[in-house]
Amino acid sequence: MKQVLILVFLFSSLTLSSFRVPAPFAISKPAIVKGLFDSDDVLEIKLKGKFRDLLNDRSSENPKSFPFSLSYKNEGNSEIQIPVKIKTRGHFRRMKDNCNYPPLLLQFAKDGPKLKSIFSEQKKIKLVMPCVDDKYIIREWLVYKLYNLLSPKSFKARLVKLQVEDEKNKKTTGPFLGILLEEEKQMAKRNRLTDVERKIKPQQTETNSFLKLAVFEYLIGNTDWSVEYLQNIKLIAADSISVPFAVPYDFDHAGIVNAPYAYPAEQLQMSSVRERRYRGYCIHDLKVFEPVLAEFNRLKSDIYKLYSGCTLLDEKYTKSTIRYLDEFYNTINNAKAWQKDFAYPCDKNGTGNVIIKGLKED
């Protein structure tokens, strides 16, 4: 009986293997399109539309949306074209006197070509344009990558090489670099939260997350942010009444970026954006910082690798940034030094609680 069973098994195995579909004719699974933020490769995109008209539309409170065509090449080297509407956005970088190009907002149709593209998950997305030079775009992009290391509650960013054709005069501008920035609703959804907008004090946000954010802003030398005024801060929470998490964005005024137009607010009495100033709230029990600083120490090698391993940076900037990071780590590993710096908001004679001019008002 055992011999019969063995023979049947062998015959079955041979029969099944004999009828396997040859590889060239096998039924292939549908190709999985990678998401926009699934790669750190520089994405080359082209835009075609009324670019000159778009650039001139900077002063209006309600900017006009212009129809454009966005194109890029997929992994199979086929060109994908997607219709989009683009308008100017922002505040400081939107003004002609400050920047060559204003920040842009790209809006996608609900269906159409985008569904089979890397933009399939996008409804709208911010495009950070170069204000002065490509190198500052690279530096700001790396700051987004740095905060990604610290928290998933952060904006994802994709570096793009952009070329724009004006459909009126056929003039081509570029290529130059930009940053595609994850939309806040998508960022919140990725973290199983929702975006909220409330008037709150930083003490009302999730404590550990805020401390990490505030130390991060100290690390990069950024004072251009505020929870109270939602200045370069977005809030996300489980619902409208839950304790929110503060998420930072817009880092062009940070010392680590060192843009030529970046100056600290006059009221802060700081000489340079390269000078660090802790901008959290007053905390008397400084032990709460210890686990936060331990996290920065744990990620130290990864943070350094962001800069030492980035071939897009020039050598001079890389070296100066490594020294800038060294200064931060020397401080947080010296108890007397970090306690002095992080207690600054408690100094009644300091500028720790100054409301910076230029923040959003009622």
Closest by alpha carbon to 233, among 215, 259, 220, 214?
214
Residue 211 and residue 256 share a domain: yes
Mean pLDDT of 119-134: 92
Q: Is the pLDDT of residue 5 over 80?
A: no
Residue 255 and residue 227 share a domain: yes
Q: Which of 22-31, 33-42, 175-184, 249-258 has the lowest mean pLDDT?
A: 22-31
Residue 145 and residue 50 share a domain: yes
Mean pLDDT of 52-76: 89
Looking at residue 356, its pLDDT comes to 60
Residue 53 lies in a domain: yes
Residue 329 and residue 245 share a domain: yes
The whole-model pTM stands at 0.87
3-state class of 229 per DSSP?
coil
Rounded alpha-carbon distances, angstroms, from residue 333 to 128, 197, 284, 296: 35, 36, 19, 10
Looking at residue 95, its pLDDT comes to 85
Residue 19 lies in a domain: no
Mean pLDDT of 193-212: 95
Residues in the chain: 362
Residue 33 lies in a domain: no
Mean pLDDT of 86-100: 87
Residue 169 lies in a domain: yes
Give the integer Cα–Cα distance in Å for 151 and 149: 6
C-alpha torsion sign, points 295, 297, 302, 304 = positive
Residue 251 lies in a domain: yes
Residue 175 lies in a domain: yes
Q: Is the pLDDT of residue 92 over 70?
A: yes
Mean pLDDT of 293-312: 98
Is pLDDT larger for residue 300 or for residue 28? Answer: 300
Mean pLDDT of the chain: 87
Share of the chain above pLDDT 90, in %: 68
Q: Is the pLDDT of residue 258 over 60?
A: yes
Q: Is the pLDDT of residue 32 over 60?
A: no
pLDDT grade for 239, boundaries at 50, 70 and 90 = very high
Residue 200 and residue 174 share a domain: no
Residue 320 exposure: Cα atoms within 13 Å on the Cβ side: 12
Residues 178-196: b if buried by 16+ CB within 10 A, e if exposed: bbbbbbbebbbebbebbbb
Dihedral of CA atoms 85, 91, 94, 97 in degrees, nearest 10, equals 170
Q: Is the pLDDT of residue 8 over 70?
A: no
Mean pLDDT of 166-181: 92
Residue 161: in which H helix or E strand, if any? strand 157-166
Tally of domains in the chain: 2
**Residue-number span of the structural domain to which 143 is assigned:** 43-182
Residue 266 and residue 200 share a domain: yes
Looking at residue 121, its pLDDT comes to 85
| Cβ–Cβ under 8 Å, residues 79 and 112 | no
C-alpha torsion sign, points 235, 238, 240, 241 = negative
Q: Which of 98-102, 106-110, 112-116 has the lowest mean pLDDT?
A: 112-116
pLDDT grade for 104, boundaries at 50, 70 and 90 = very high
